[in-house]
Each structure stands twice: as C-alpha cells, then as structure tokens.
Amino acid sequence: MYTATARSCSNIAFIKYWGNRNDTLRLPANGSISMNLSGLETVTTVRFSEELTSDTLSLNGQSQTGEALRRASRHLDHIRHLAGVNLHAEVVSHNNFPTGAGIASSASAFAALTVASCAALGLDLAERELSALARLGSGSACRSVPGGYVEWYSGEDHASSYAETIAPPDHWELLDLVTIVSGEHKAIGSTSGHSLASTSPLQTARVEDTPRRLKQCRDAILRRDFELLAEVIEQDALMMHAVMMTSHPPLLYWLPATLQLIQLIRRWRADGIPACFTIDAGPNVHVITLPPHHEQLEQLLRQVDGVQTVLTASPGGPACLVSNPAE
C-alpha cells in the first residue's frame, strides 16, 4: 500500500516558462507549451514506512543530501498533508539522461515523484490535480504529467494553474535531437534563475507578447505547420535567453558550440532541411525535425566541434505508474 513506482518523460518547452508571479506556488509569469520526450525518462520508486526516521533520496545510485533532499522533502510534505499522514519516505530515482544540464530533469523528476507518492498513499487524483501538485515541486513538472503536446495555463491560483494535452503524441511525429555540448550540472539552476527574471528590463515585453506566441505555436502544432513552428519557437527561445543575459546578475548559459549550432541550423533550414532549434536553461540545443531527415541531421550534428552526443526523442506519453520497476 505504501510503495509505488512511476515513470515520467522530460519535456521540451516550445514556448518557455521563465519567471514566477508567485514563487511559493510557482505560478508562472506566462503560459507555456511543450512536447513530452519519449525515451528521456525518470523512473522513481517511493516507499513510505513507519520504520523510517527521515526522508531519504537516491538519484542515479547516489545518496542525496542538502538542497536536493530538502526540495524533495518539501514536495513530499504537500502530498503527506493531502493524505493526512506523517510517514517518512525513501525515494529512489533514476534518469536515463544528464541531470541538471538544461534538459528538464526536474520536470520528469517531480512529475514521477508526484504520481508515485500519491499512488503509494492511496490518493486518487485527477490528471489536472496531479499536474497542479507537481508544479509545486518544479514548475515545468506540471507539463510532464499529461502526454503529448501540452499547454500549461498560468492561472490565477493553485487550482487553475495546470497543464493539459492539446494534441496526443501521435498527432505529429516530430523528433527532438537533443544535442549535448555539456553534461555538467548548471552552476545556477532554474529555480534561482526564475527569481532573476524580473531584474531584466526585457522581461515585461517578453511576458506581454506571450499570448501571440502561444497562439502561433498552438496553431502550428494543430496544423502541423513546421515553418510556422520553427519561426515561433526560435524567437521564443532567443527572447528567454535575452532576458537571462540581461538579468542582474546575468545568466550566460551558452557555450561556443551552442552559438555555432544556432547558426548552422538556420543555414541548414535555408538549404531545405526542416530543422529548427530551441534551448532551455542550459547550453544544450534541442533540434526539432521530421523523421525522414533524422539520420542526415544527426550525422551533421555529430560533426560539429563541441558536440558530445545526440539523444533522439519522439513525442512521449503521460506520467504513469510502473507495475514492474525492474523493467
């Protein structure tokens, strides 16, 4: 009864979440749209027990202390409160992709933690409620609870700030070639970065323009319009990084290979290859393309100086319980 395992996909934001209106509830400054990434996953087992004297957290086989454990415990507190219990938990989590490198590892982590913990304590919550609850641990985690192409509504309060599917995974067979130029953990994580967004003079303009970009991105997905998608997600990514670069202190996540990839991808698209980029809070570049061009594009990417590896992901499903964790 007190143990459950869940699997959740990472996601890539096409329209970015950056900055909060409420840091405690992680109510975002603007809505966002993302795609779940099948194959880039977190699997988390949670066991509540009267025998435990404190919460424990293992990530990729390494025992975690400090802020990582405190953050997990704070999230478990929300779930314990809902369930009316005060049991401590043992959390064992594994990612099959780099952690803390700007590939939304916190999104899949807290989505999986939320789904597993609620199941372990017998909470029967609707997907919308699970999404809102996951948001308290990591804002982008709310987008990893539903499947496929997902929109997160900024909302006015806890209950109204959640994410839902706007198109299922099989609606459009996009591919994300996650081009890794650094697998190192970020010196400044997204949680700290969000608090700096308001210090940039560009953040207000970015937020005010978001409804236009949301509509353009939503229309591009629903119509399967690659050129329209490329235009809006590249603009949105550059706007977010412009805010980061002009915050106080500035956040400079890009490496030389990041900028080189941006220039190459735009050149390849001009030459007829359907490819566009987006970049989360980190140096790694997500290259969005269509299946017929996968092999050609991956070969080109691997030849770029500074590229360590390329991970391929297709649209992924919702966070779900796993009956056999060994699999």
Read off the pLDDT of each residue in 217-230 and give the average, rounded to a whole number.
Answer: 98
Could you tell me which CATH class the domain 175-315 is placed in?
Answer: alpha beta
Residue 112, pLDDT > 80, answer yes
Tokens at residue 319, please?
A: 């966070």
3-170: in CATH 3.40.1410.10: no
Question: Is 19 within 8 Å of 207 (Cβ atoms)?
Answer: yes
Map out the domains of the chain as residue ranges. 3-170, 175-315
What confidence tier does 103 reach under pLDDT thresholds 50, 70, 90? low
Element (H, E) at 3: strand 3-15
Q: Is the dihedral of CA 24, 30, 35, 40 positive or negative?
A: negative
Residue 101, pLDDT > 60, answer no
Q: Could you give the count of Cα atoms lying within 13 Å of 234 in the half-sphere of its Cβ?
A: 18
Q: b/e for 49-78, b at 16 or more Cβ within 10 A?
A: eeeeeebbbebeeeebeeebbebbbebbee
Residue 187, pLDDT > 80, answer no
Read off the pLDDT of each residue in 150-156 and give the average, rounded to a whole number.
Answer: 97
Q: What pLDDT digit, counting tens, does each position of 36-95 carry?
A: 999 999 999 999 999 999 999 999 999 999 999 999 999 999 999 999 999 999 999 999
Tokens at residue 98, please?
A: 């780099």
Q: How many CB atoms lie within 10 A of CB 1?
A: 8
β 32-49/56-59 pair status: unpaired
Q: Could you give the count of Cα atoms lying within 13 Å of 256 in the half-sphere of its Cβ?
A: 3
What confidence tier does 185 reach under pLDDT thresholds 50, 70, 90? confident
Q: Is the dihedral of CA 307, 308, 310, 311 positive or negative?
A: negative
Least confident of 59-63, 94-98, 153-157, 244-248: 94-98
Give, in degrees to the nearest 5, the angle at Cα 104 between 101 and 108. Answer: 130
Per-residue pLDDT, 183? 80
**Cα Rg of the chain, angstroms:** 19
Give, in degrees to the nearest 5, the angle at Cα 283 between 294 and 136. Answer: 100
Per-residue pLDDT, 4? 97
